[in-house]
Copies of this chain bind each other. A is one copy, B any other.
């Protein structure tokens, strides 16, 4: 039976069957009883797809009228449009947006680059973007940089070749060449999730350093004094580095010494790495009574490791995270964190982009704006 194949299957091995009908998968796969497996054999022909000219010929109108019938506000008589749409439906015509974009000089999409797509913060931002853009029929082309500015540069270069009408970036750090490319691209750029000192163009973000500062203050108010910080080892994640800098600044401002910092693994630092880091922290500085983690994920790892070792949270050590991920709300004890409206960052960035595009098209001068997004320390059980 198929289930046994699966259960006993070798890890990482895959088996390819040429004909599923005689394969090992058993009867469960072909329950529709269709003996012919003709999928794929017909429609992959290299025949040319119907074009607007085909629709024009078949409907008896010119291509231009077909084009108008497909647009929203165009002036076409109802009967004409009806007939044209009928032909389109009949022959399965699908408009070619790239050809249209070539002549109208509007590609109809914008690009967003995030460090990773597997992070609810950034995917929420992507959702906000999608929502803002789709109201105007713009599509979102998403790319992920893996926290590497080199990959970001490559992506920027690759994306620009498709002529996006705008670009959303995460953070304010880019390679020299990336900045040059962006500057000569002549499209609006929005940097997000940060407040860069030297922005490329527009900005929708917040100060990660200030957020960290606020968290230090929160812990101090709750009576903690020996506060440590857990983060990634390199500075690939500039927002993480900003959070660390904010922590150090706050500690020094409050006269709490230089602080205790454990850096562990390349960003994004994982749950497991958080667990390893807290062990190292407590071994090195047993006096530590609270830790701020660069993200909720590492904070969660810290808490689980504390469970394992029998250290009570927040009794032995208080734990704070960053980002308000679901896991920190649901975890026991729930995790004190910094919450940012990730969706709103995307929504606002999308709206700012749209209005900028409009103004440029109208020939107006556009003064680059900076939209500040609020953050808030959310106090939970872990502190």
Contact = CB atoms under 8 A, between A and B. Distances in A.
Contacts of A158: 139
A98 B100 CA distance: 10
A32 B198 contact: yes
A95 B161 CA distance: 6
A344 B12 contact: yes
B341 A186 contact: no
Copies of this chain, complex-wide, total 2
A186 B330 contact: no
Contacts of A15: 371-372
Given A39-B200, A360-B46, A271 B327 contact: yes
Nearest to A199: B39
A186 B6 contact: no
Contacts of A341: 11-12
A360 B44 contact: yes
A-side interface size class: 35 or more
A6 to B, nearest CB: 5
**Residue of A11, A94, A372 most packed against chain B (CB within 10 A):** A372
Interface string A178-205: 0011011111110000010111111110
B30 A197 contact: yes
A327 to B, nearest CB: 6
A210 to B, nearest CB: 4
A266 interface: no
Interface of A: 1-3, 5-7, 9-20, 23, 25-32, 34, 37, 39-47, 49, 92, 94-99, 101-102, 107, 116-120, 123-124, 126, 139, 141-142, 157-158, 160-163, 180-181, 183-189, 195, 197-204, 206-207, 209-211, 213-214, 217, 246, 270-272, 275, 297, 300-301, 304, 307-308, 326-327, 329-332, 341, 344, 348, 360, 363, 365-377
